[in-house]
Amino acid sequence: MSRKQLVDWQLDLDQRYLRATGSPRHEAYIDVLRERLVRAGVKQLRFEPVSFRQWSVEPGHWSLEVIDGDRLGILAAAGYIPYSGVTPPSGLVAPLVYLAPGSEPDASLAGKRVLVEMPKVAWADQVFHDRAVHVHVHDLDHAMAPETPYARPFQMLGPFIALLDSLQAAGAAGVIVILDAPASTAYGLYAPSDGQVRQLPGVFVDRDRGQRLRDRVQAGTVPALRLTMDATVRQVQTRNLVGIIPGKPRN
């Protein structure tokens, strides 16, 4: 397969934007993948129906809005938290409190929206050395020493899900999550993708906006905010695409 073919497929994928499971874009892409497998000569193809509970929200149906003070209007958010919950079309207005990293959610958060920071998890490269079957080191610049920090976005998913679940268990009414990233890279995060519908409507904000919000909450000067997540939850059906290539393993 040529490099150009792989690049063209990736560009095509990027132009399809978010393909949330069960959405028209997702279903259309399944058909495209089937067509490509047919052209590649895979003859044993079939669809498997999958029914699941889908949460979705349309553009313009979610927002974070300042509703008092001298700077009224929509507050730019980096994105919504998928499957986080639903508010009435009129939105949710509730007190906003800050929960510092490492603090455990408790009953004092009931009925309030909570401003939190995305959990940070950092490994060292030693974790890979410990689990490797064989280690061959060719690292002339010593960039991957065992003590070198290793931090990637996927590492935060488990702690993030645990945080959302604990906030929901504490009775929080909503959540605003501060991402440790500038607006240019924070925008569009779709996480978590576990498909668990929660009752904790929430949004992400970037580092600078989050810091300003945190400072104002701690100073007791935060304006009234309306969080709107006019989402839809329904039972839908999608498909798994299964292809079988005849043959047997060498062993």
pLDDT classification of 152: cutoffs 50, 70, 90? confident
Q: Which residue, among 109, 107, 79, has the nearest Cα to 95 in the 3D structure?
A: 109
Q: What is the pLDDT of residues 9-58, one digit of tens each?
A: 999 999 998 898 999 999 999 999 999 999 999 999 999 999 999 999 99
d(CA 13, CA 29): 8
Q: Who wins on pLDDT, 88 or 186?
A: 88
Pair of tokens at residue 122: 């950092």
Q: Are 210 and 114 in contact (CB under 8 A)?
A: no
Mean pLDDT computed over every residue of the chain = 91
pLDDT classification of 251: cutoffs 50, 70, 90? low
Over residues 165-182, mean pLDDT: 96
pLDDT classification of 167: cutoffs 50, 70, 90? very high
* pLDDT at 70 > cutoff 90: no
* pLDDT at 62 > cutoff 70: yes
42 sits in the region (left: phi over 0; alpha: psi -120 to 50; else beta) called beta
* pLDDT at 135 > cutoff 70: no
Over residues 95-100, mean pLDDT: 96
Q: Are 226 and 88 in contact (CB under 8 A)?
A: no
Over residues 137-162, mean pLDDT: 81
Give kind and range of the element (H or E) at residue 166.
Answer: helix 157-169
Q: Per residue in 143-177, is it b (16+ CB within 10 Å) or e — as a string?
A: eeeeeeeeeeeeebeeebbebbeebbebbbbbbbb
Strand partners, 48: 240
**What percent of the chain shows pLDDT beyond 90?**
70
Q: Are 130 and 92 in contact (CB under 8 A)?
A: no
Q: Which residue, among 77, 120, 114, has the nearest Cα to 92 in the 3D structure?
A: 114
- Sequence-distant (6+) residues with CB within 8 A of 79 are 186, 187, 188, 189, 190, 203, 204
Q: Are 126 and 148 in contact (CB under 8 A)?
A: no
